[in-house]
Amino acid sequence: MSSSNNSKVLTLENMNSAVIKLEYAVRGPLVIRAGEIQKELQQKISKPFKDVIKANIGDCHAMGQKPITFLRQVLALATLPELLDSPDYPEDAKSRARILLENCLGYSIGSYTESVGLEIIRKHAAEYIEKRDGIPSNYEDILLFPGASSGIKNILKLLNAKIDGKSPGVMIPIPQYPLYSASVTEFNMVQIGYYLNESRNWSLEIEELERAINEAKKTCFPRILVIINPGNPTGQVLTKENIEEVIKFAYREKLFLFADEVYQDNVYAEGCKFFSFKKVMFEMGPPYSQMELASFMSCSKGYMGECGLRGAYAEVVNMDPKVKTMLFKLVSASLCPSVHGQIALDCVVKPPMPGEESYDLFIKEKTAVLSSLAERAKMVADTLNNIPSITCNPVQGAMYAFPKLLENTGICIVPGAGFGQEPGTYHFRTTILPQMTRLKEMLTRFEQFHLKFLHEYQ
Which one, of 234, 298, 240, 311, lies nearest residue 264 by Cα? Answer: 298
Give the separation between CA 296 and CA 181, rounded to whole angstroms: 17
Neighbours of 352 (CB within 10 A): 23
Higher pLDDT pick, 37 / 237 = 237
Task: State which of 211-225, 390-404, 441-455 shows the largest mean pLDDT.
Answer: 211-225
Which one, of 236, 165, 184, lies nearest residue 205 by Cα? Answer: 236
Q: What's 102-349's CATH class?
A: alpha beta
The stretches of 165-239 forming alpha helices (DSSP H) are: 179-186, 206-216
Identify the weakest region by mean pLDDT among 8-22, 54-68, 124-138, 427-441. 427-441
Which one, of 106, 88, 87, 109, lies nearest residue 97 by Cα? Answer: 109
For all residues of the chain together, what is the average pLDDT?
84
Give the confidence band of 38 by pLDDT, cuts at 50, 70, 90: low
7-37 pLDDT, tens per residue?
887 677 777 776 666 665 445 555 566 666 6
Give the confidence band of 384 by pLDDT, cuts at 50, 70, 90: confident
Rounded to 10 deg, the angle between the 359-385 and 69-79 helix axes is 130
Neighbours of 2 (CB within 10 A): 4
Q: Specify the amino acid at residue 362.
A: F
Give the separation between CA 262 and CA 189, rounded to whole angstroms: 24
Pair 261, 301: CB distance under 8 Å: no
What pLDDT does 259 receive?
96
Strand 168-174 vs strand 221-228: parallel, antiparallel, or unpaired?
A: parallel
The helix or strand, by DSSP H or E, that contains position 428, with its residue range, turns out to be strand 428-431
Percent of the chain at pLDDT above 90?
54
Give the separation between CA 420 and CA 23, rounded to whole angstroms: 12
Q: What's 31-55+368-457's CATH class?
A: alpha beta
Count of positions (residues) in the chain: 458
95-109 pLDDT, tens per residue?
999 999 999 999 999
The residue ranges of every structural domain in the chain are 31-55+368-457, 102-349
